Structure 1
């Protein structure tokens, strides 16, 4: 018997966000990491569309958002574990050094 399909995947252990592998609805979800056998279970607070991000841990406003093992964004407000992570609560770190 095969293992159940994950709801989300994170690229690396230590990432702050995982990527929804299908449309997710609030409630319990389970996922994993591409670089380990670790399993992550959490209570999803909001709908998260396919390909969008979910917080795997609490992230404080101003903290780096780590994905792929690198900073990809900065939290623009506090984000709780299980929250939908998108443009309403993060800003891209891509142009940060050229704007500051």
Structure 2
């Protein structure tokens, strides 16, 4: 069984079908990548490099924008994307440092 699934051909993220440990090698679009971090089941990884400001596409639809550069195979979640549609669950301090919302 593959560990990741692309839900739509236009997606630039893949969804983990199970928890995949850091150090695991995966093949994405013919390129081998080693996961730098553990990816929890149902979380996303970048299928290709995504630049800060680029649209994140899942289900063939935009779900938000990258807030930082995201290398292929890296975790894509609230720490590096923001929704264009709903409030985020992280906050930025006045100095721009991100912290979890309480």
TM-score, structure 1 normalization:
0.76
User: Distance in 2 between the 1:90 and 1:79 partners?
Assistant: 9
Q: Which runs of 5+ in 2 are unaligned?
A: 88-102
Q: Is residue 83 of structure 2 the alignment partner of residue 83 of structure 1? A: no
Quote the RMSD (CA, aligned, Å): 2.0
Q: Which runs of 5+ in 1 are unaligned?
A: 32-37
| Among candidates 41, 49, 57, match of residue 50 of structure 1 | 41
Report runs of 4+ in structure 1 exceeding 2 Å deviation. 38-43
The C-alpha deviation readout for 1:60-99, integer Å capped at 9, x for no partner, is 0011001111111100000000100110000112249xxx
TM-score, structure 2 normalization:
0.75
